[in-house]
């Protein structure tokens, strides 16, 4: 895959070979997808280009699609560990730690991969950049119950997510399809009616123990963290916890409470299922009560 | 200590020997406390009787008080494990698992006991029935910084808690001093405006891992648990979590949400510091928001 | 209608004349309803008796039902003002002030009565004890759009409500059908984590201006009013407001806020549509935030 | 007062006459204030200029200050109605309707003005642009209880508010002192977990009946109003109500509720006391529950 960025304008002006040369790696081992989309130039936006590429894929014969799908590596497989996959796939799977699975996890993925391959005759495709490990496992469980046609469609939908990310990385231009999500928070002090400043906020991915801490931050004068808790990429579907250290906050301000304080570290647990959305998860708290909600 | 219950009326009518025979064990190895309180008969309530006993103790000389205090066993000590304590003390310490400490915990208690004894020349007295293990450790840390007079007063205050419990067990009559607390909950469904029925609720003591589960219950037609989550004894000072399984509840009712649900198991963490109080910790929830508060 | 209460047991043992003598007035000018129900004795509960009476009415011919329905007075009509209605009807309509309508209101009811009678050939029947004036007007508007059969059924349903109330008043015995609702409140202070004591609470029926004040009360040590805001009868379907004077409460406790206070008199407006239900409408408040919900 | 805007740079470069010519009208009939501040040039910001002008005023003798204060018109006085005041004062008092008082209101202001003048020997000065009529009356009541020195200081503080507004209007440049506040809202649908779109929101000033409606707006796709409810000027200290028409919103979306809906028009009443602050007053609502808070 080209690392350097290509301008959409150049692609619109390119001949077929140059076009395929620039985009051929976006669809795993399948330059023919770019070849067929070439005739649709010019594309007004990067999103239109992606749409045209996906249309070429979806318009291909079932046999072609199966060959394409079968060209993908299995998740967390020996192939992943031994290196026989494209650089793009390697990088995506590595971001989730699928190249560093424990032996037990590795066995589990192997078994699921095997079951899935036996049932559908293809590898399990999923856009790992939009998932946590637990959500990949639950998608495995859910999709393995699909019929063959529904599952082929599900695989192509994931290819859409994967290639949208890849395309955005290598093509510059207007109308990039959205691939980033955002998680933000806010703490309001119900006693003073003001933003709560100086509250320690710890974001964790659930199910990973102490390894799961993704970010620690302290609220600023506006009761927010200086930067979003998560941003700049797709959010991973999965379970999260934000722990708000309100006990220390109220103690420091001298607000009367009990000893130990009725509320100390308040955990808010929630799931993310829209990787490209904005999740706002605020806390409104007194020493004795709190509320939260999904805002946006 | 007498196991059978004695009527307050009998005690009011008793001669000194019978009175001391009935109550002598309430104050650890110190029948003289009951002896001195005897002259104050008759007592209108069990609370008045307890007050008179405590007044006799607090009115004693510092030397007498120190002898009395030194007659108490150390927490989680060899004595506790080998049996050289009164049956009442054994039962109280056993309720917290202080007779089944791990080697590491045992070492920690031994070290604290040693430090404390060295500083104050007496064993650390605390009403274990009103505490969790973490709160005993934090009380150790707090009280070891006291001056000698303040700490002797603190020890007598704990004796007051201990003997109030013991007295209530063996004396029947009006005006028993309060020794029981209560923890209750309630779940309200903000979508239907009705009590949430069939919500799994799991109460844990914090800091104990899976061992810490104290109660599991399912909410009834009134959104409450059939019995309080905790009742019938003093609440233990410490940290708790109630986990409300609202994700399963809304799924079963077919209320639309995301997949996975934004809210699944909602943990509410709080501390109890008033063992004889009523804590009501409700949850008001939709699939996207919730609030809680200390009610009563 | 008999004012003195009759035992259900006596009715079960009564001959037809005595039975009709006791119950004949329950169904407006229609002793035949009681006559037909008589043969169903004995009735285990007062509710069963009411059910049997209603079954006799619903089992009657359409012509008989129409005669029965036409025997009812019109709401707020000249008849009401001049006295040609049964004492029970007079009392029910009087409770809502329908015998003291202003000229404009009287004209409005007359017009609605006229339109309704023209359309259905019968007076508009509604259980006034379960309604406010605005809800009667909105029921007029809703029901006038019904078909004839649906509207006759609607009228008989109202007769069921009316006679259930009347029967409960004159028959003593087990299993009385529920006719009472209840409205209660509770104020929680989010700053102290305690019930808010001494908060003035004013309940109004909406749409009536200063005339609409139904109750003023002050919260007690438990944050509740000593008596329910409404109880002892059916709640009237309609709009209500509870005004909570939290500004004065927090000022008296010396809790810091702005001047004038951000929150002073907090109005909670809600509708009641289940006259026999329990409505609990609490307020959780700090000087800067509050929440409310329909509890039960 | 100059209507055309003057650059701060020009003022810094101006000779005394030009300086006073530009700013002399800012302080009511007191060009000497500008004269004395002139020597402090250059001023880095408009705020610094205002600070220097106020310092000149506060540094003047008590006699000079009294002459200055006595040069102000009385609120809502005959003078206001007959025209003997500066154009700036006329415009400010007109914004509140003080030139269109009813006879009763006029009498009330006359009486307060008389009492105040008798007590302090000067007219009551208040920055009307930061007040509602009720808050002016309550300030009258509060300040009339002041001692003479405290009240002279209070009057000068108001002059500071008045002249800050005037200065900002006529001087262009960096560092203008803040004179604008903002009121915004947001509606969150607790059933869908999304911003509530299409909710009618009506802002009223309290105490004015139907005349008091300041703004009607409908929430957009983000659950906000396209423009803030109030902005572009100081907020007036006083009581407000935002009425949220959530009943119609949920009905339109087909969300189940009662008939009439438990919640229909939700009124949130609150006071503003910081004219230059941002007030955010959101509503989080299901058909059965809601909460609000002062956000920012």
How far is the C-alpha of D246 from the C-alpha of A246, rounded, in Å? 32
* Range from B139-153, C90-104, D246-260 carrying the lowest mean pLDDT: C90-104
Cβ of B207 under 8 Å from any chain A Cβ? Answer: no
Q: According to the model, what pLDDT value does residue C209 have?
A: 63
The pLDDT mean for chain B works out to: 90
Per-residue pLDDT tens for D235-265? 999 999 999 999 999 999 999 999 899 999 9
Q: According to the model, what pLDDT value does residue A95 have?
A: 64
Residues of chain B with pLDDT > 70, as a percent, come to: 89
A and B: number of Cβ contacts within 8 A: 72
Say which residues have a Cβ less than 8 Å from residue C82's Cβ, sequence separation at least 6: none
* Range from A205-214, A265-274, B70-79, C18-27 carrying the lowest mean pLDDT: B70-79
How far is the C-alpha of B124 from the C-alpha of B152, rounded, in Å? 10
User: How far away is chain A from the Cα of C258, in angstroms, using its nearest Cα?
Assistant: 10
Q: Within 10 A of B57 (CB to CB), how many other CB atoms are there? A: 22
Cβ of A212 under 8 Å from any chain D Cβ? Answer: no
Smallest CA-to-CA distance from D183 within D243, D239, D234, D230 is with D230
Is C291 strand, coil or helix?
A: strand
Alpha helix ranges (H) inside chain D: 8-13, 16-23, 31-37, 46-58, 62-70, 78-82, 87-95, 103-120, 133-143, 148-170, 246-253
Q: Do D194 and A296 touch (CB under 8 A)?
A: yes
Q: List the single residue in B with minimal CA-CA distance to C294.
A: B193
pLDDT band at D108 (very low <50, low <70, confident <90, very high): confident
Residues of chain D with pLDDT > 90, as a percent, come to: 76
**Quick check: B85 pLDDT over 90?**
no
Q: Are strands A200-205 and D200-205 parallel, antiparallel or unpaired?
A: unpaired
Is B147 strand, coil or helix?
A: coil
Segment A6-12 mean pLDDT: 95
> Which among C261, C262, C294 has CB closest to D262?
C294
- All residues of chain D having their beta carbon less than 8 Å from the beta carbon of residue B190 are 190-191, 286, 288-289
pTM of the predicted model, to two decimals?
0.91
**Quick check: C191 pLDDT over 50?**
yes
Q: Do A284 and D293 touch (CB under 8 A)?
A: yes
Cβ of C288 under 8 Å from any chain D Cβ? Answer: yes
Q: Which of B183, B291, B295, B296 to mutate to test the interface with A (most CBs of A within 10 A)?
A: B291
Residues of chain D with pLDDT > 70, as a percent, come to: 89
How far is the C-alpha of C217 from the C-alpha of C200, rounded, in Å? 6
Cβ of C192 under 8 Å from any chain D Cβ? Answer: no
**Quick check: D28 pLDDT over 90?**
no
Q: According to the model, what pLDDT value does residue D119 have?
A: 95
Q: Do C190 and A257 touch (CB under 8 A)?
A: no
Query: CA gyration radius for chain B?
Result: 23
> Which among D190, D287, D288 has CB closest to B289?
D190
The pLDDT mean for chain D works out to: 90
How far is the C-alpha of B21 from the C-alpha of B34, rounded, in Å? 9
Cβ of D246 under 8 Å from any chain C Cβ? Answer: no
User: How far away is chain D from the Cα of A73, in angstroms, using its nearest Cα?
Assistant: 38
**Quick check: A1 pLDDT over 90?**
no
Q: Do A195 and D296 touch (CB under 8 A)?
A: yes
Q: List the single residue in D with minimal CA-CA distance to A294.
A: D193
**Quick check: C108 pLDDT over 90?**
no
How far is the C-alpha of A93 from the C-alpha of B90, rounded, in Å? 57
Q: Do B193 and D284 touch (CB under 8 A)?
A: no
Cβ of C266 under 8 Å from any chain D Cβ? Answer: yes
Per-residue pLDDT tens for D184-195? 999 999 999 999
Cβ of B292 under 8 Å from any chain D Cβ? Answer: no
User: Which chains sit next to A, with 3 or more Cβ pairs under 8 A?
Assistant: B, C, D
CA angle A232, A233, A236 (to 5 degrees): 135
The pLDDT mean for chain A works out to: 90
In sequence order, what DSSP letters do the residues of B3-46 get, joined into one string?
-S-EEHHHHHH--HHHHHHHHTTTSTT-HHHHHHHGGG---SSH
Q: According to the model, what pLDDT value does residue A180 have?
A: 94
> Which among B263, B271, B288 has CB closest to A261?
B271
- Say if residue C59 is exposed, middle or buried (CB neighbours under 10 Å; 0-12, 13-18, 19+): exposed
- All residues of chain A having their beta carbon less than 8 Å from the beta carbon of residue B291 are 289-292
Segment C42-47 mean pLDDT: 96
> Which among B192, B193, B287 has CB closest to D193?
B287
Segment C253-260 mean pLDDT: 92
Q: Are strands D283-286 and D289-293 parallel, antiparallel or unpaired?
A: antiparallel
Per-residue pLDDT tens for B159-200? 999 999 899 999 999 999 999 999 999 999 999 999 999 999
Is C72 strand, coil or helix?
A: coil
- Say if residue B201 is exposed, middle or buried (CB neighbours under 10 Å; 0-12, 13-18, 19+): buried
Q: Do D258 and C273 touch (CB under 8 A)?
A: yes
Q: According to the model, what pLDDT value does residue B110 have?
A: 86
Cβ of B277 under 8 Å from any chain C Cβ? Answer: no
> Which among D192, D256, D286 has CB closest to B190?
D286
Say which residues have a Cβ less than 8 Å from residue A147's Cβ, sequence separation at least 6: none
Is C206 strand, coil or helix?
A: coil
**Quick check: B2 pLDDT over 50?**
no
A and C: number of Cβ contacts within 8 A: 38
Residue D242 near residue D215, CB atoms below 8 Å:
no
Residue C26 near residue C166, CB atoms below 8 Å:
yes
Smallest CA-to-CA distance from C199 within C288, C294, C283 is with C283
Per-residue pLDDT tens for C228-250? 999 999 999 999 999 999 999 99
- Say if residue B254 is exposed, middle or buried (CB neighbours under 10 Å; 0-12, 13-18, 19+): exposed
User: How far away is chain B from the Cα of D162, in angstroms, using its nearest Cα?
Assistant: 44
How far is the C-alpha of A40 from the C-alpha of A48, rounded, in Å? 10
CA angle D22, D26, D29 (to 5 degrees): 105
Segment D88-93 mean pLDDT: 65
Segment B5-26 mean pLDDT: 93
Q: Do C286 and A256 touch (CB under 8 A)?
A: no
**Quick check: C79 pLDDT over 50?**
no
B residues 82-141 near A, CB within 8 Å?
135, 138
Q: According to the model, what pLDDT value does residue D73 have?
A: 84
Segment B110-134 mean pLDDT: 92
Q: Which of D270, D282, D286 to mutate to test the interface with C (most CBs of C within 10 A)?
A: D270
**Quick check: D57 pLDDT over 50?**
yes
Q: Are strands B6-7 and B171-172 parallel, antiparallel or unpaired?
A: parallel
Q: Within 10 A of D267 (CB to CB), how many other CB atoms are there? A: 15
Q: Do D294 and C288 touch (CB under 8 A)?
A: yes
**Quick check: A202 pLDDT over 60?**
yes
> Which among D237, D264, D271 has CB closest to C271?
D264
Residue D263 near residue D243, CB atoms below 8 Å:
no
**Quick check: C103 pLDDT over 70?**
yes
Per-residue pLDDT tens for B200-255? 999 999 976 667 899 999 999 999 999 999 999 999 999 999 999 999 999 999 99
pLDDT band at D41 (very low <50, low <70, confident <90, very high): very high
> Which among A267, A269, A289 has CB closest to B293?
A289
């Amino acid at each position: 895959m080209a690392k350097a960025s290509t301008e959409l304008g150049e692609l619109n002006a390119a001949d077929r070979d140059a076009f395929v040369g620039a985009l051929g790696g976006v669809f795993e081992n399948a330059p023919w997808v770019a070849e067929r989309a070439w005739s649709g130039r010019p594309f007004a936006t990067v999103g239109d280009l992606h749409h045209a590429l996906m249309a070429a894929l979806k318009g291909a014969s079932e046999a072609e699609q199966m060959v394409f799908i079968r060209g993908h590596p299995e998740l967390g497989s020996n192939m992943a560990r031994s290196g026989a996959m494209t650089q793009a796939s390697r990088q995506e799977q590595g971001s989730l730690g699928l190249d560093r699975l424990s032996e037990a996890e590795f066995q589990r993925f192997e078994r699921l991969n095997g079951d899935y391959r036996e049932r559908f005759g293809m590898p399990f495709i999923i856009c790992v950049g939009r998932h946590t490990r637990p959500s990949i496992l639950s998608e495995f469980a859910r999709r393995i119950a699909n019929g063959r046609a529904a599952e082929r469609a599900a695989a192509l939908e994931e290819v859409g997510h994967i290639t949208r990310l890849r395309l955005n990385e290598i093509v510059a231009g207007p109308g990039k399809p959205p691939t980033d999500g955002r998680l933000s928070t806010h703490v309001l002090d119900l006693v003073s009616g003001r933003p709560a400043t100086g509250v320690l906020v710890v974001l964790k991915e659930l199910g990973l123990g102490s390894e799961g801490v993704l970010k620690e931050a302290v609220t600023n004068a506006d009761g927010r963290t200086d930067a979003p808790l998560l941003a700049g990429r797709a959010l991973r579907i999965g379970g999260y916890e934000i722990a708000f250290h309100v006990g220390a906050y109220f103690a420091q301000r001298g607000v009367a409470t009990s000893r130990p304080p009725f509320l100390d570290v308040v955990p808010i647990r929630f799931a993310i299922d829209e990787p490209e959305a904005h999740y706002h998860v605020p806390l409104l708290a007194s020493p004795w009560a709190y509320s939260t909600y999904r805002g946006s």
